[in-house]
Homo-oligomer: A and B are copies of this chain.
Amino acid sequence: MARRPDRRKLRTLRLLRDALIAQILEKGYDAVTVQDITDHANLGRATFYLHFDNKEELLMSSLREMFDDLKERFGVPPPDSFLAGDHPSRLVPFQHAFEYRDLYRVTLLSQQGTAAIVNGIREYLASNMGERLQAAVPASANGKMPLDVLANYLAGGMIALISWWLKSSAPYTAEEMADMFRQLALPTLLTFADSTQPR
């Protein structure tokens, strides 16, 4: 038994994955056809269907690999990991994102489909917050944190709250949500914005 894995097959899979990412980065997920992928990988179109049902499955298989790697690196969360400033696990998400940056770009920054909208909204919120912060924080204030980093962080937190709110049928009013957001954001703001601001 123990069929030899046929080295050809593994090579083919790798070629397809690479071609997909390359093509997505070039023209966007929706615009990529199976033909594009196989052309770019120098394979026959039928060969694609030998291994995957459609291009979504190919993308998913790549993402699954990446995701499994992420989970494995995190491992079981150690009890006190979170607040300890120097625990190495704090690096995991960012290192992981950097290593798989092509795949992250493909998904997080997608300019197609509804993902584009989400990105548009977050960017708008970030720039809107940026302006407000600009006004609220004296230019003199401590440069401990770049303003657009701060703005994006807050915008991302807000979007996440809204998503969670609309997804779960959590019984909160818009006002309660706004208050929660304020409570969550205020400690950070007070730290990085001018501390002379009123409560």
- Enumerate chain A interface residues (CB-CB to B < 8 A): 29-30, 59, 63, 67, 70-71, 74, 77-85, 90-91, 93-95, 97-98, 101, 104-122, 124-126, 128-129, 131-133, 135-136, 144-145, 148-150, 152-168, 174-175, 177-178, 180-193, 197-199
Cross-chain contact A30 with B85 (CB below 8 angstroms): no
Could you list some 5 contacts between A and B, CB below 8 A?
A: A80-B135, A91-B175, A93-B162, A111-B119, A153-B160
Cross-chain contact A115 with B121 (CB below 8 angstroms): no
Whole-angstrom distance from the CB of A146 to the nearest CB of chain B?
Answer: 8
Cross-chain contact A178 with B90 (CB below 8 angstroms): yes
Cross-chain contact B182 with A108 (CB below 8 angstroms): no
Q: In this complex, what residue of B is CB-closest to A93? A: B158
Cross-chain contact A183 with B144 (CB below 8 angstroms): yes
Cross-chain contact B125 with A93 (CB below 8 angstroms): yes
* Residues of B close to A91: CB separation below 8 A: 174-175, 178
Cross-chain contact B105 with A116 (CB below 8 angstroms): no
